[in-house]
Amino acid sequence: MSLSMFSPLYSPLKFSFKEEKGKGNSWALRQSLGKKKLMVVRAGPKRIAFDKECRKALLSGINKLADAVSVTLGPRGRNVVLSEAGGLKIINDGVTIAQAIELPDTIENAGATLIQEVATKTNRLAGDGTTTAIVLAREMIKAGLLAVDFGANPVSMKKGMDQTVRELVKTLKKKSHPVRGNDDIKAVASISAGNDEFIGSLIAEAIKKIGPDGVICIESSSSAETSIMVEEGMKIDKGYMSPHFINNPDKSIVEFENAKVLVTDQKISSVKEIVPLLEKATQLSVPLLIFAEDISKQVLETLVINKMQGMLSVAVVQCPGFRDGKKGVLQDIAMLTGADFLSGDLGLTLEGATSDQLGIARKITITSNSTTIVAHPSTKAEIQARIMQIKKDLAETDNKSISEKLSQRIAKLSGGVAILKVGAHTETELEDRKLRIEDAKNATFAAMDEGIVPGGGATFIHLSEQVPLIKESFQDPDEQIGADIIGTVRHIAFLNLNILTHLVG
């Protein structure tokens, strides 16, 4: 078994497991001057299309995907059945349905892929509203392609659309109302879950226990019952340094259980600095999460390649925060996981680090922009002591900026993590319920962060009334067409919602 240092296609350098007398198994750097491997990829013939033929095929693919997803829109939306290798899946989640669709025609599939990206990005940024995003995107594309067929300049038209959207977003923010109290939270969560009041109550209860700065994690229960338990943990605003660390491609996240954790404010310049720690994690067959000030491109590539070859279960997250605030957050992470904080200021180097200085976390979830850590039960006392220390520091400072940072750290550590153990009678029911709870959770946190507006397409109608005023500020006729498209699409979205509600309800 070997740990590749660089790409096996080009580099002769490798790490390898070898037996050394009296030392047992150890990682050793060896240099191999063997022949470079050559990979030849033969591509099939490509279909090439231009102008109307291309636009027609793209729109056809967009329509096929949007038709499949749009039936789930609104409070009376229907379910969709997906056939997968593991069996059938009955779901109501727009982004999951979109990602499952692949069309045989290459250009139609390219159109479907464009809409998949709309849903994926909406899900990543907002966590919900993916079906609405698909409906809006389809109508914008249809109207835009029609305008192009009649000679409109697509670049100018898009400029008008972008400017119109920016102005409407400003209006939208002014019209939004803050979420007040448990009843509002329950209502938002229930609506997002398809008017499921049980899920709404579940989310409201979880947020009541952990507060607005807490974190909610969703897990499968071993029984048919759904329950809530609160554990120590925190969420930080930094994600994985490379998407190649992802081990759950369906959700585009990294998920670890009972992982070892390395915390340092130093840059990892050479993979040799962390070889003993990689060795220990591999021997124990546990994942390793690395928090570091920075990491060289060479080290990152080495870790990625070996992860992709199945030799390591590893991920790297860059230190969150800035300057002194960064060090404080790293100390919090170290305390949460029971790790030694390997700081240069303390004379602790990476080269001298041992596996005993690694921390442990019961569960870790890493997205592109955040990392959630659920603490191991063994670190509970240390976490409470850390919170008391930060509160003491807060009481002793008069600096407003430092006070805000300390308050944020207290909130993140003391809020904890609510674990929702989701139960169901069948695997199909379980997956559907987990997706609904995930949507409800994301929509609720977004509502608490940015407020709420009237639903049912009513806000779209109000916004469309602002479009003529925005359009008047444009001199270019094609930019005005872009503004008209945005205004028209919002009316169509309102009509789609109401028509679908009556047809499928």
Which tens digits make up the pLDDT trace of 5-38? Answer: 443 333 333 444 343 444 444 444 333 333 344 4
Domains: count for the chain: 3
**Percent of the chain topping pLDDT 90:** 49
With respect to residue 295, please indicate whether it lies within any of the assigned structural domains: yes
**C-alpha to C-alpha distance for 440 and 446, rounded to whole angstroms:** 10
**pLDDT over threshold 90, residue 152:** yes
Query: Do 119 and 62 belong to one domain?
Result: yes
Query: Do 359 and 376 belong to one domain?
Result: yes
Query: Do 401 and 499 belong to one domain?
Result: no
With respect to residue 413, please indicate whether it lies within any of the assigned structural domains: no
**Percent of the chain topping pLDDT 70:** 86
Q: Residue 190 is part of which domain span?
A: 181-230+425-450
Query: Do 64 and 90 belong to one domain?
Result: yes
- Provide the CATH number for the domain around residue 365: 3.50.7.10
- Helix-, strand-, coil-residue percentages of the chain, each rounded to 5: 50, 20, 30
Confidence of residue 108 (pLDDT cuts 50, 70, 90): very high
With respect to residue 32, please indicate whether it lies within any of the assigned structural domains: no
**C-alpha to C-alpha distance for 128 and 112, rounded to whole angstroms:** 19
Residue 402 tokens read as 């430092």
With respect to residue 348, please indicate whether it lies within any of the assigned structural domains: yes
Query: Do 256 and 384 belong to one domain?
Result: yes
Query: Do 318 and 430 belong to one domain?
Result: no
**pLDDT over threshold 90, residue 304:** yes
327 within 8 A of 265, measured Cβ to Cβ: yes
Query: Do 433 and 402 belong to one domain?
Result: no
Burial environment of residue 65 by CB neighbours within 10 A (0 to 12, 13 to 18, 19 or more): buried
**Mean per-residue pLDDT, 188-206:** 91
With respect to residue 259, please indicate whether it lies within any of the assigned structural domains: yes
Strand partners, 422: 220
Confidence of residue 491 (pLDDT cuts 50, 70, 90): low
State the average pLDDT for the chain: 84
Query: Do 256 and 377 belong to one domain?
Result: yes
Query: Do 379 and 289 belong to one domain?
Result: yes
Query: Do 287 and 373 belong to one domain?
Result: yes
**pLDDT over threshold 80, residue 42:** no
Between 15-19, 99-103, 118-122, the lowest mean confidence (pLDDT) is in 15-19
**C-alpha to C-alpha distance for 438 and 442, rounded to whole angstroms:** 6
């231009």: which residue's tokens? 50
Q: Tell me the pLDDT tens digit for each residue of 230-273.
A: 888 888 889 999 999 999 987 889 999 999 999 999 999 999 99
């960064």: which residue's tokens? 326
With respect to residue 34, please indicate whether it lies within any of the assigned structural domains: no
Question: Which residues contact residue 208 at a Cβ distance below 8 angstroms, ignoring those fewer than 6 apart?
Answer: 182
Q: Which residue has the higher pLDDT, 319 or 305?
A: 305
- Provide the CATH number for the domain around residue 169: 1.10.560.10
Query: Do 357 and 430 belong to one domain?
Result: no
Residue 476 tokens read as 């270019």
pLDDT value of residue 362 = 92
Q: Tell me the pLDDT tens digit for each residue of 330-361.
A: 988 998 899 999 998 888 889 889 999 999 99
Query: Do 150 and 287 belong to one domain?
Result: no
Q: Which residue has the higher pLDDT, 3 or 314?
A: 314
**C-alpha to C-alpha distance for 469 and 208, rounded to whole angstroms:** 43
Say whether 188 sits in a helix, a strand or coil.
helix
Between 14-28, 282-296, 378-392, 455-469, the lowest mean confidence (pLDDT) is in 14-28
